[in-house]
Amino acid sequence: MSEIQLFSISNEIKECVPSKVILEKELQNLIENNMETFFGVRFLKSEYAITNGRMDSIGIDENNNPVIFEYKRSQSENVINQGLFYLDWLLDHKADFKLLVIETLGNDVAETIEWSAPCVICIANSFTKYDVHAVNQMQRNIKLVSYRKYDNDLILFEHLNVPVVAPITRESYNSNNTNRNDNRKTHLEKLSDSSDKMKNLYYSICNFIESLSDDITSNQAKFYLAYKKVQNIICIEIYTKRILLTLKLNPDKIELEEGFSKNVRGISHYGTGDLQLTIRTAEDFEKAKPLLQRAYDEK
């Protein structure tokens, strides 16, 4: 794997050397207490007992997808296969997860649980290139994260892969969805049905967002596509004659323009964020670019 060098530049240039590996329980406690800051995930429960096992940590992300955390205790432990087993168990026991969400975050959150992209985050001091290759071949939402602890109260998390997940069709989604029974088109279906003009505009927007930095990743939800750093920064919806962008920006600090930008704080909408942009033309997209850059810079 790639080597990361960290230097202190105060007084004299000095390389920061990683300290001893954190004890597994110490790392688990650190992540559980700061899960939303580190990974954009709301913590639900530690040591979640299931049939034939116990999930180290479990949470729910801002797109309301379940997230399982597994920590690698030893070099010989196959944390990837273990996480995959827990993910499959969760998909077969959605009612149990919903009950956990009700008990922890309330019924309103439980009614919005998404099963479009449940995730496993495997955390270890190191992974091999074979681990990364194996995960990328699985087409499951499994993320490998290595960590290093430094003496001066620094911890580094390196995300080693961007999961290649098989597209979710309406049939496969509905067969796994116990919370909703509707016939609304999914984001991918609406994208497929769009005109070439709207598709070209949509992909131009996606390409621009992805060009902002290599630390941006996408997350396909049922009704929108989310781009995120640690947390979502931009969410995209596509319709017949317009594209909606929801940005994590404070609309009170934006000069709003009727028909283009809107404050959606307190208004029900897909995606996360309070500023919504309506893109109908290439000219609208050009106007949106500084705000997209700003959403990235301010998060």
**Owning domain of residue 208:** 184-297
Residue 176 lies in a domain: no
What DSSP state is assigned to residue 253?
G
Q: pLDDT truncated to tens, each residue of the chain (299 aa)?
A: 556 778 888 778 888 877 766 777 889 999 999 999 999 999 999 999 988 889 999 999 998 999 999 998 666 678 888 889 999 999 999 999 999 999 999 999 999 898 888 999 999 988 888 888 888 888 788 999 999 888 768 889 998 887 766 544 444 444 444 444 445 888 989 999 999 999 999 999 999 999 998 888 888 888 899 998 888 999 999 999 999 999 999 999 999 999 999 999 988 888 889 999 999 999 999 999 999 999 999 87
Same domain, 137 and 189: no
Same domain, 22 and 139: yes
Same domain, 77 and 148: yes
Helix runs in 34-70, H state only: 35-39
**Category of 141 on φ-ψ map: left (φ > 0), alpha (ψ -120 to 50) or beta:** beta
pLDDT digits (tens, 9 = 90+) for 95-135: 999 999 999 999 999 998 988 889 999 999 888 888 888 88
How far apart CA 264 and CA 236 sit, in angstroms, is 14
Same domain, 50 and 115: yes
Same domain, 50 and 194: no
Domains: count for the chain: 2
Same domain, 12 and 152: yes
